[in-house]
Structure 1
Amino acid sequence: MEDLTKFREEMATELSRILDYWGTNAPDRQHGGFIGRIDHDGKRYPEAEKGGVLNARILWTFSAAYRVLKKPAYLDLAKRAYTYLRDHFYDHENGGTYWAVRANGSPAQTPKFVYGQAFSIYGLSEYHAVSDDVEALAFATEIYERLEEFSYDHESGGYIEAFSKSWEPLSDMRLGGGGLNAPKTMNTHLHVIEAYVNLYHVWPDIRLRKSIEGLLEAFDRHIIHPETSQMVLYATMDWKPLSRSVSFGHDIEASWLLLESAEVLHQEAVSEKWRKKSVEMARATFAGLAPDGSLYYEYNPDNGHWDKHREWWVFAEAIVGYLNAWQITKDPVFLTRMQEMWAFTRKYILDLKGGEWFTGVNDDYTLANGNKISFWKCPYHNSRMCMEVLKRV
C-alpha cells in the first residue's frame, strides 16, 4: 500500500469501531459477564451458553486496548471480563477453566481443552499487565502449572489436547466437537505458545522460557512441513501426520506469531532463523489466493477439495502476516497482498451499518451463516490486527 499513513488512520478508526460495538452490545446486563450470542441481524440470545474462549478473548481485547489507548472504559470492561472468569469459568477445586457456562454462570461444559486454557492464560496475563492485579497473575501461572503437569508430553514433546474436569485423559479430544480426534493439533500448539509468550512478558520464569523453546522446536521439527512451509493440522502422540489439509489462515497467522515467540528469547540467531521461516510461511499461503486477491479457507490435497468460503479472522491475520513479511523483506508483493486483503475486508466483511464484522462470505459473495458474537466470533483477531498495525506502521 503506497500510503501507509492513510492505512494506519483506517486501522485506528476500525479499532474504535470494533471496540465500540463490543462495549455497547456484548455486556450481559441481565446475567452478568458477556452475552453468548448475537446474530448477524442483531438479535440477542440471552440464554445462550457463554464460551470460555470468548470471555478470555474479550478479557485480552479490552486489556490490550487499554494498554494502547488508555481509555478507562476499556479497563472497566477488562475488569468485568476478569471478574466473570474468576467467579464462573475458573475451577477453584481442580484448577483451569471450564469450556462453557450457562447464561446464569453455572458450569455447562467442564472438559479442560488445552486450547481454552491457553486463551485464559493469554487474557489473564494481559489483564495483569495493565492492572497489576496479582490474583490474575496467580491464576495465569496456576493454569501454566496444570498444563505442564498434565498436558505436556515428556516423551515426544508438545501438548495433549484435552482432559476431563479433574484432568483425566479423554477419549474424544475434538475441539468443540469438530475436526479430527487427534491427541495433538497445530491449532492448540499455536495458541499455547502465543499464551506462554504473553505470560513471559509479565512473568519471566526460566521454566516458562524453556517451554517456549520447546514449542518452537515442536513447530520446527513436527508441525511446519520442511518442503511446503505449510503446517500439519493433526498428529498422533509421536507426531505422525493425520491429515494433509492446509489451513491458509492458520499458516499466515503462525508466520508472524512464531517470529514474535522467537524474538522474546532475545537470541539473534534464533530470531534470524524464524524471520526466514516467517517469510517462507507467508509466501506459501499464496497457494490459497483466490482470483479476487482474497484467501480461500482450506484445501485438502487428499481429495482435491477446496473450502472457498472467506472467513473473517483469516483476513485479520493475513493483513498482519503480510505486513510482517513486507517489513522483513521489503518485497512489494507482500504489501500488495496486504492491500488486497484489506480491500476485500472493507467490501465484504465489514458491517458498516450494524457494526463489527460479518463471519464471512461464500464463494459467490453471499453472506455466510454466522453471528456477530458467539463462542468463536470474538473481538480478538480483528482488534489485534488494528493494534498490530498501529504498533508497526
Structure 2
Amino acid sequence: MDPAPLATFRAELTTELSGILDWWMTYTVDQEHGGFYGKVDNDNIADTQAEKGLVLNARILYTFSSAYSLNGKKAYLTIAQRAFDYLITHFLDTEYGGFYWAVDFTGKPSASKKQVYGQAFVIYALAEYIKIAPNEKALDLAKNTFELLEQYSFDPVNTGYVEALSRTWEALEDLRLSDKDRNEKKSMNTHLHVIEAYTNLYTVWPDNKLKQAIKKLLSNFKDHIIDKSSYHLQLFFAENWEVRSNTFSFGHDIEAAWLLLESATVLKDEGEIRAFQKLALQLTEAAAEGLAEDGGLWEEEAHWWPQAEAMVGFLNAWQNSADIRYFQQSVQSWSFIKRHLKNDKGEWHWGVHRDYTPMAGEDKAGFWKCPYHNGRACIEIIKRLSA
C-alpha cells in the first residue's frame, strides 16, 4: 500500500504521545508528599488528599519506562524512577510480600488487600522498567510477586487465578475489583492482565516455570474465556469456570485480540501462534459489532480506553491478515479520538455520551484513569509502523 498514510499515522501518534506524557509530568507529580496525585479532575485541578492507587502508580511506571525505551527522553526516565521509588517505598508490603491496593495521600496503606489485578500490573511495570534501568531489586520483586501469585492465587485443581486475597494471602469474601464488578472467584479481566504481565516478565526472565504458566493461561482463554459461538470474551466465572455473566465488553475483545497473540509470539510457540492468529481475527470481528459509523467503539458511552485499544487491535488485524479495511478502521478509531476525546494537547476525556458531550464528573487522572491505554497505543503503533 501507499506508505504515506502509514507515515502520517505514525507522525501524528508521535506528537500525541509527547502531549499525553507532558500533561502527566505537568499536572500529576506530587511535590509535597511524593509520587503522584491520586486524582486530577477534568479542569487539571489535583485533589491533593486523594487516595493513591496501586494500578495508577504501576501504569505510570510502565508507560514512562516504555516511552523512554522508545525515544530515550531523559525526562521520561526521571518519572519512571520516581514511580519505581514510590512503589517500593510505600506500596510494597515488606512483611508479607506483594503490594498494597492503595495508600493514602501521605503514603500510608489505606487498603492492604492483595488484588491479583494490581499485583499483575506491578509485574508488568517492573519488567518494563528493568529494560531501561536494569537492577536486581526490580527483577527480584517481579520474580517474587510471580511466585506469590503462583503460590496463593493459582487454582491447582481448575487452573486459573482467584481474584483477590487478604494482606496475608488468605481468602476474602469480597473479591471484586470495583463496585461495578461481580463478586466471583475468577474474571476475564484479571486473567487478561496476568497473562500480559507474565508475558512481559518472560521477555526479561525466560524462566521455564513462567513459560508454563503463560501456556496454561493461553489454554484458559481457549478453553473457558473465549465464547466458542460468538468469539466474545466471557467476563465472570465460578471457581470451576462455570460462566456467571451474560454480557460482553467490546473493548476487552479488541484488547485481547492483540495481547494474546503477543503472548504466543513471545513464547515462540508455532502451534499457539497459528491458533491465536486465527482467534485474534475472530475476536476482532466480535469487537467490531460495537463499531458505529462515526468510527467509535461504543458500549452505552464511548470511553477513552476501548478507542485506544481499537487503534492497536485493528492495526494488528491488518498486519495479521493484510486486509486493508482493518488498517482503515484503526485510522478511523484515531479520527474518532481526535474529534471527541482529545482535550487540548493533554490527557483525553474519560469518554463521551451518545450526543458527544464529555462525561461530567470523571477524572483525567485517577484510580483507573492512567496513561497506560492511550500511551501504550501510541507507542505500540509507532513501533509497529516503524518496523
TM-score bracket, normalised by the shorter chain, equals over 0.9
CA displacement, residues 199-232 of structure 1 (integer Å, 9 cap, x when unaligned) = 0111111100000000000000000011111001
SS of equivalent to 1:178: coil
| 1:373 aligned partner | 365
CA contact (8 A) 1:172 1:181 kept: yes
Read off the aligned partner of 1:202 and give its amino acid letter: V
Instruction: Report whether the alignment pairs 1:102 with 2:104.
Output: yes
Instruction: Confirm or deny that 1:318 pairs with 2:318.
Output: no
**SS, match of residue 264 in structure 1:** helix
Deviation at 1:23, TM superposition (A): 1.3
Q: Which residue of 2 aligns with 1:301?
A: none
C-alpha RMSD of matched pairs (Å): 1.0
What is the deviation of 1:264?
Answer: 1.1
Q: Which amino acid aligns with 2:370?
A: C
Q: In the alignment, which residue of structure 1 is the partner of 2:25? A: 23
Which residue in the other structure is 1:335 paired with?
327
Aligned-pair CA distance for 1:123: 0.8
**Partner SS, residue 324 of structure 1:** helix
Residue 352 of structure 2, aligned match among 361, 373, 387:
361
User: Which whole-Å CA distance do the structure 2 matches of 1:76 and 1:294 have between them?
Assistant: 35
The question of 1:139 aligning with 2:131 is answered no
User: Aligned residues: percent identity?
Assistant: 48
- 4+ residue runs of structure 1 moved beyond 6 angstroms? none
SS at match of 2:13: helix
Aligned counterparts of 1:315 and 1:203: Cα–Cα separation in 2: 32
Alignment of 1:1-393 (within 5 A): 3-297=5-299, 308-352=300-344, 355-369=346-360, 370-393=362-385
Q: In structure 2, the residue corresponding to 1:160 is in which secondary structure? A: coil
Letter in 2 for 1:379: P
Unaligned runs of 5+ in 1: 298-307
Task: Report how far residue 338 of structure 1 moved.
Answer: 1.2
Partner of residue 305, structure 1: none
Asked if 1 retains the 8 angstrom alpha-carbon contact of 2:295 and 2:335, the reply is no
- Is the 2:9–2:331 contact (alpha carbons within 8 Å) kept by the matching residues of 1? no
Paired AA for residue 270 in structure 1: E
**Range moving further from structure 2, 126-135 or 205-214:** 126-135
Check whether the contact 2:27–2:46 (CA below 8 A) recurs between aligned residues: no
- Of 318-327 and 125-134, deviating more is 125-134
Secondary structure of the corresponding residue to residue 108 of structure 1:
strand
- 8 Å CA contact retained: 1:127, 1:133: no
Contact 2:307-2:334 at 8 Å conserved across structures: yes
Q: Which runs of 5+ in 2 are unaligned?
A: none
Amino acid at match of 2:260: L
Q: Offset at 1:178?
A: 2.6
Q: Scaled by the length of structure 1, what TM-score is found?
A: 0.96
CA distance in 2, matches of 1:260, 1:339: 21
Cα distance in 2 between the residues matched to 1:64 and 1:286: 28
Q: Secondary structure at the match of 2:232?
A: coil
Secondary structure, aligned partner of 1:371: coil
Contact 1:194–1:261, Cα closer than 8 Å, also in 2: yes
- Alpha-carbon distance in structure 1 between the residues aligned to 2:183 and 2:373: 26
